[in-house]
Structure 1
Amino acid sequence: MIDITEEMVLKQKEKSSYHCDICDKSFTQKGNFSTHLRIHSGEKPYHCDVCGKSFARSSVLISHQRIHTGEKPYQCDICEKAFSVGSTLIKHKRIHTGEKPYQCNICGKSFLEKSQVTSHERIHTGEKPYHCGICGKAFSESCHLTNHKRVHTGERPYRCGVCGKSFSQTSYLNVHNKRIHSEEKRIRPQEKPHHCDFCGKSFSEASYLISHKRVHTGEKPYHCNICGKAFSERSHLINHKRIHTGEKPYHCDICDKSFSQKGHLNIHKRTHTGEKPYSCDTCGKSFSQTNHLTIHRYIHTGEKPFHCDICGKSFSQNSDVTKHKRTHTGEKPYRCHTCGKSFSDRRILRKHEDIHSRDNPCQ
């Protein structure tokens, strides 16, 4: 069986130039043409023998392998900082020269990198090309989608070097360090002898450094033997396996409800204590969960990231999209047990049931 790359290369072999039938791009060299076709085919024939990650180009694999070897052959002649990739050195030098060669076509603002101007222009266009496959939420930058996905997976790749507590985002880890360990850092700065070669971060234990490095390498050595999903931390795999086993080892001592993860139990306990640790920096309103605060903030920003795929109408909450779609589908999942009438919204059903309560006050 011939694949897309082989088929197109053979097709273009007799011509003086190589033309991609998929995107109309042309090439003068066969090698460049073959490499380009991998964008469409998804082929990644070059594999890292350390972590197993795959690449479409051998040059990208060579650059990637320097993550594992620590090799940094490109050095800045101004500050002597070293880099593993030549293009990173070029970008770095702009810090010294002040050069900002990439300009926004709309407002004229200049940037160091092309990717920065691309991200910036989405402020003007409102484009959000990165979509969560689980809840449909859209983001303007891929890193924001990556952070968001951890809400669903429970992954927490950023570990505190002092106490070992894990977080889903670096910003949460930074807040934790300031609030909990700022005094400890002043008293015992010498107690973090293990340093990350990539970002310079320090850790009190070698095991914390090993776990942290996986943020940079992308290594996920812990695999689920049921579904094959991979994780960077053993604790994340243990939490994940409870999806398959149904195990819920964390029990609420107030109402005896059980949970698969300790974090979920902590969130639940706030329903009893009334604790609301997440505050809106605009109006001061507090919430028991971070996702509730995120949804609330849309009131201030006017952002409506959830879209109806039928009519295009936008909403601030995914649940509102679900309700709205029933106007298109005619679905009425809420049924009155007294008269059998159905409704598209639970609140409308409750109002309707009040009619029966008034008609039968003694029931």
Structure 2
Amino acid sequence: MSVPKRGPVYDPGLCRCCGNIKKCRLLNVEYDHLGQKEIYSDIFVDCFGFILSQLDGEPDGRLICATCVIRLREANSFRLQVLLCEERLLARFQDDDKPIKEEIIIKDEVSLDAEPMYDDEPADDIHSDSLEQQEHPKKKSTKHHSKRKTKKSKRTKENITDETLLKVERLNRRLQEMQYNDTFPKAEKKEETSLSLENIITLVENSYVCPFDTSFSDYFCVYCRTIFTDPIKLREHTYTHDPQTIKDVLAKYTATKKIQLDLYRVDCRLCTEVITDIGSLKRHLASHGKTVHEAPNEFLEFKLTSGKLFCLECGRGFAFFHALKKHMAQHFGTCICDVCGAHYFEERMLYLHQKTHQKSDEVFKCVECGKEFKSKYTRYLHIFKMHKNEAAYPCSKCDEMFFSYSLRYRHKIDVHGEERQFKCEVCDRSYDSRKSLREHNRRLHLKILKHACHMCDKRFYLPSRLKEHLATHTGERNFRCDFCGKTYPRLRGLKVHMQAHIIDKKFKCDLCGITFAHKVSLKIHLKRQHQNESFNQPN
């Protein structure tokens, strides 16, 4: 079975309940929330008793945003809570057969029903009689008045008793619906989660379905936590582990963390059968005598490839895995932001996202120098690096500490042999960091050149390149060599010049003794400085 599908999401959409333009859902389409089905138009009928109009028209006229959905759920929960408490109250009074208790029920019902729901008789007269009896408990009446009042009281009591019975019957029906829709599905969901976990174990143990974990766009082996950037090498490595140990691995997963499975290859391990999809695999394993439960899948389905990645739900393509997983949350994420409607898999990520909506002026000040930071973490790194002169970036595979993220990144590649090769899909270049590949694509292939020169038609990817280019118009030479004082208009020119001071200078001028790293530099020097002097040019 595939993961249960949610209804469509429209972004942006105009919510007909609050009038705001946000990420919206359809009012009359079934959605899944925490294992329960919900149709928002039906909840409106249950909570408020009115039917929304124009639900058969175009989608843009029947949308509701995430904020209004949460308010609607809260209203429905409050309704169910009130019904439950009312039922308990009525049941307590019905269990007591004393006449005085019956009178209390009648008085309570009369006082609460300013607008009777089940009787056409006005409630004001009943209420006034009750008040009169309370205000004048010792007032004596004539015999005629007493008889008339007794008859009226009996009729009123009979009507109210019938009304109370109708209310009890109605509340019982609502209580049964509430127990079915609230209490029972929770227990059922817990059972379904256990059955789904057993299904995952059966799939991994008896097929080539590959479980994996991720951090941003890096892939991790679930058995030993080895890191990969190439999904092909991830699969090859994972198959070297015993799949029978997957049960112990999955026991470490939290209830809120979705298990990720690579369905690139779903062939059976028990025979040579070639299988193309997860549904066929389940039916095939059942033919081998394996138990496969009828339960929704509690895992995310992927087909990992070295190139572009595609969503198995809608077919949309992504260049990096973290972008695909963020998109998958729109299909299966149950944690929804009530401000913008963004979906997440974990409450922790939703909490971090919601903090971005909070306009806080809180800053974290360094007690040493007074510099202000937006987070405690950046202040922590600043203190360790600038004031304590201590490294704050630990390596996860050894005890080494580093002063920057880039130094730790390079350490993992050189020392621990982490394979990080990010290949360009357009050309044959490859890079050892995702950032370098992204900048390469933007600069050379996508031609994202946002920084334009106001004196000519040239455009540049980085503002530093534009600044260097402007020097060609103004004649400025802002890059100076610290060894010889020579200046250059561009940083690249200075870097090439600096190599002459660093590397071994094999070529020496016989006239003035200056040495050069390259033969061509010596020839240029001789022509410029010793043009009229006799000398022997180098061969």
- TM category, shorter: 0.3 to 0.5
Q: Highest relative contact order (Cα 8 Å, sep 6+), 1 or 2?
A: 2
TM-score, normalised with respect to structure 2: 0.28
TM-score, normalised with respect to structure 1: 0.39
Higher-Rg structure is 2
